[in-house]
Amino acid sequence: MSASSLSGRELAASIRDETAASAAAQATAGTPPQLAIVVATDDESSAWYVRSMAKAAQQAGITCTIHDLGAEATVTAIGGKLTGLSADDAVHGIILQTPLPAAAKGADLASLIAPGKDVDGANPVSLGRLAGGLPAFAPATAEAVLAILEHYEVQLSGKLAAVVGRSTVVGKPAALLLLNRNATVTICHSRTPDLAGVTSGADVVVAAVGRAGLVSAEYVKPGAVVVDVGTNVTADGGLTGDVDAASVSAKAGALTPVPGGVGPVTTALLLRHTVLAATGSLQSPA
Ligand code: NAP
């Protein structure tokens, strides 16, 4: 048996097309959507991501402004920038790029992003609203996990799901979104004993760890659906996931590829969120 590949590319393209049409309509109506990305790092992979995000935004007809404050930026400077962008009527979406300078506390800074412009769900208020079932922008990566499962019509209601990773940007919100779909969710982390024992009982496994190949065949039950969120840079500069694709694809029913799975859908959803923010609409929880 070989797992079917749950590519995110086709879904991402359809979200981008739909978003571009909405962005064009908003521009015609006099409100061209604008996304601001605040950067305070000289990390190369972060710079690559910001460039590709800006290109994707421009292709969708969304103005993207990059506010590069430099790796030495003070917490006050970053906070001031976020506060200013939150108050700027011409700006509809704000992303605070990571990593941040060592002195900065991500959650404190993200709290300065107006929730209506918090297109990557970074403000703790957004996560709280998500938990409470209130309209909010979910972190785009977590939402991408659900969007892929929905696109491929994976049944979630009444199923057992295991999420490996409990970060506020991926693991926790992905678990909340799965719970909203009536899955029974176990959240695993670095102190979870017998991780393979837990994940191998699940119908759906979401790997969001940041450790290349951690989830191997013994972590997966036959026929399970596996979503690989991991993006780990290999020695030759390529990208590999948290799932050992070679062994898992011989046992799972379906698996998202890396690259080409969660990543492109995440980018497309950030653009969709920006266009929604420009219309003043927060999303209902997915
Ligand atoms: P993170 O903040 O470092 O969190 C990693 C989580 O994995 C933590 O909860 C940690 O547990 C857990 N963990 C670490 N080692 C483990 C182990 N051996 N067994 C079980 N759990 C373990 O990472 P993140 O920001 O959530 O990102 C996770 C991955 O997703 C990374 O590869 C990242 O690059 C990728 N990512 C991809 C996208 C995309 O668009 N495709 C976007 C964002 C992130 P503790 O809490 O106990 O430390």
pLDDT digits (tens, 9 = 90+) for 23-62: 999 999 999 999 999 999 999 889 999 999 999 999 999 9
How many Cβ atoms are within 10 Å of 247's Cβ, its own excluded? 16
What is the C-alpha separation between 5 and 54, in angstroms, rounded?
28
Sign of CA dihedral 167, 171, 173, 175: negative
The pLDDT of residue 280: 85
Is 199 touching ligand 1 by the criterion CB < 6 Å? no
The pLDDT of residue 281: 78
pTM score: 0.97
Is 209 touching ligand 1 by the criterion CB < 6 Å? yes
Q: At what angle do helices 140-151 and 171-180 cross, to 10 degrees?
A: 40
Nearest residue (CA) to ligand 1, atom 30: 230
Q: Which of 283, 102, 100 is nearest to 110 (CA)?
A: 100
The bridge status of strand 239-240 relative to strand 232-233 is antiparallel
Asked if residues 37 and 54 have their Cβ atoms less than 8 Å apart, the reply is: yes
Q: Is 284 helix (H, G, I), strand (E, B) or coil?
A: coil
Enumerate residue ranges in the chain where pLDDT < 70.
1, 283-286
Nearest residue (CA) to ligand 1, atom 22: 190
Is 3 touching ligand 1 by the criterion CB < 6 Å? no
From the alpha carbon of 232, which atom of ligand 1 is closest?
A: 32
Is 266 touching ligand 1 by the criterion CB < 6 Å? yes
**Beta-sheet strands, E only, within the chain:** 4-5, 34-39, 63-68, 93-96, 160-164, 184-188, 204-207, 225-228, 232-233, 239-240, 254-255
